[in-house]
């Protein structure tokens, strides 16, 4: 089996950040803050966060904040809960959450909770369990979870549970591993994992492993490195990770590396990108691959960062 080309992945991430005119940078322009979270968290898991200029990153993030308190994907764009979580997560990596006005950011999120407990992603109103996770995770990091109706938020997530044990985007929506991560992660943070049928969901999740060792997002679909995160983190949160073949999954992820120029792709021999590089490295971290910082399956941040948020005396 090959090895993790850690140094090459660090160089790849830094090169994407520098090539502002590249195809990848241009298509990611409007979601750059989310891309920054993927890239910087990868660097931190690899122990190389100091390869970037912290002050540059932080001053750019602050310029992405809108007067509503929410953050946009880049300067001058519209705010959305996803970029708001990314901003808070990146600041957490640098131990700089304190520079934010936590009440202002929280008020933006609180304003997006609907009567039925669900969350909209922004003022345009789209509802999805992704936004429930984002709101709960972000408010928890800001230590402001008590500002929303958590019981209602949990009730809405539970209303998206299916007969197969999985969860969808909205009530009745098909179970999908990405949404399952969001629902299980939100319930874990809210202390409400008792709503999950762990054996039933664990069975559905471990059936996502295909012959190559990779995981797919739902039945009959192709495997993709990103599901190493969505599926594994969910299995860990419900204590069923021993139901998949870890060695085969490690091999699948390593086979998706570009051994020459760094980066990880969705499947072997495809083009690499920062999204799959992050989820590949994060997946390996969940699999306890040597030399990587452990990552927290619910907060999607390194465990030392999560411990600093909740256990440091400030
Ligand atoms: C902090 C890690 C973190 C996440 C923030 C945005 C978000 C919360 C979660 C997204 C969860 C999600 C829905 C992930 C799935 C992404 C994905 C690869 C979707 C592809 O869907 P299809 O239908 O692909 O195109 P399949 O694989 O089903 O063919």
Which tokens belong to 154?
């949990």
Mean pLDDT throughout 59-70? 97
Domain spans, the chain: 6-311
pLDDT at 21 over 80: no
Q: Is-contact 141 89, C-beta < 8 A? A: yes
Which tokens belong to 179?
């949404």
Ligand 1 atom with least separation from CA of 218:
28
| Per-residue pLDDT, 23 | 64
- Say if ligand 1 is within 6 A of residue 267 CB: no
Centroid of ligand 1 to alpha carbon of 96 (angstroms):
28
Torsion of CA 288, 289, 295, 301, to 10 degrees: -170
- Say if ligand 1 is within 6 A of residue 156 CB: no
H/E element holding 40? Answer: helix 32-45
For residue 44, what are the CA distances in angstroms to 3, 33, 94, 291, 292?
Answer: 19, 16, 10, 12, 9
Residue nearest to ligand 1 atom 24, measured at CA: 217
Q: State pLDDT tens for residues 25-42.
A: 666 777 889 999 999 999
Q: Is-contact 213 245, C-beta < 8 A? A: yes
- Say if ligand 1 is within 6 A of residue 134 CB: yes
- Say if ligand 1 is within 6 A of residue 90 CB: no
| Per-residue pLDDT, 58 | 96
Ligand 1 atom with least separation from CA of 133:
8
Centroid of ligand 1 to alpha carbon of 178 (angstroms):
4
Q: State pLDDT tens for residues 231-278.
A: 999 999 999 999 999 999 999 999 999 999 999 999 999 999 999 999
Which tokens belong to 82?
């996803």
pLDDT at 314 over 70: no
Q: Can you count the helices (H) and strands (E) in the chain?
A: 14, 0
Q: State pLDDT tens for residues 140-184.
A: 999 999 999 999 999 999 999 999 999 999 999 999 999 999 999
H/E element holding 276? Answer: helix 274-286
Nearest Cα residue to 130 out of 246, 289, 300: 300
Specify the higher pLDDT residue, 22 or 114: 114
Query: What is the topology classification, in CATH, of domain 6-311?
Result: Glycosyltransferase (1.50.10)
Which tokens belong to 254?
């390593």
- Say if ligand 1 is within 6 A of residue 11 CB: no
71 beta partners: 65
- Say if ligand 1 is within 6 A of residue 81 CB: no
What's the CA gap between 6 and 10, in Å, rounded? 6
What's the CA gap between 257 and 265, in Å, rounded? 6
For residue 62, what are the CA distances in angstroms to 32, 33, 55, 136, 144?
Answer: 13, 11, 11, 22, 20
| Per-residue pLDDT, 17 | 76
Centroid of ligand 1 to alpha carbon of 173 (angstroms):
14
């Amino acid at each position: 089996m090959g090895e993790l080309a850690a140094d090459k992945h660090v160089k790849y991430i830094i090169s994407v950040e520098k090539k502002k005119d590249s195809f990848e940078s241009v298509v990611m322009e409007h979601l750059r803050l989310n891309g920054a979270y993927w890239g910087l968290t990868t660097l931190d898991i690899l122990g190389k966060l100091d390869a970037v200029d912290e002050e540059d990153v932080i001053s750019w993030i602050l310029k992405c904040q809108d007067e509503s308190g929410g953050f946009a994907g880049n300067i001058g764009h519209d705010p959305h809960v996803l970029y708001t979580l990314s901003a808070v997560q990146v600041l957490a990596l640098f131990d700089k959450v304190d520079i934010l006005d936590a009440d202002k950011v929280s008020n933006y999120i609180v304003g997006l909770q609907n009567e039925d407990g669900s969350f909209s992603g922004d003022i345009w109103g789209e509802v999805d369990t992704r936004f429930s996770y984002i709101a709960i995770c972000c408010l928890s990091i800001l230590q402001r979870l008590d500002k929303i109706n958590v019981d209602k938020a949990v009730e809405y997530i539970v209303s998206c549970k299916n007969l197969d044990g999985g969860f969808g985007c909205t009530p009745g929506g098909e179970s999908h591993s990405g949404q399952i991560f969001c629902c299980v992660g939100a319930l874990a943070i809210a202390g409400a994992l008792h709503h999950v049928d762990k054996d039933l969901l664990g069975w559905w999740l471990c059936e996502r492993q295909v012959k190559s060792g990779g995981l797919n997002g739902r039945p009959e679909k192709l495997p993709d490195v990103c599901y190493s995160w969505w599926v594994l983190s969910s299995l860990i949160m419900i204590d069923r990770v021993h139901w998949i073949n870890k060695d085969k999954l490690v091999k699948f992820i390593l086979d998706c590396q570009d051994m020459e120029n760094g980066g990880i792709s969705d499947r072997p021999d495809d083009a690499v990108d920062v999204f799959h590089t992050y989820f590949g490295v994060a997946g390996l971290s969940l699999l306890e691959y040597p030399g990587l910082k452990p990552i927290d399956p619910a907060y999607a941040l390194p465990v030392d960062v999560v411990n600093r948020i909740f256990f440091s005396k400030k």
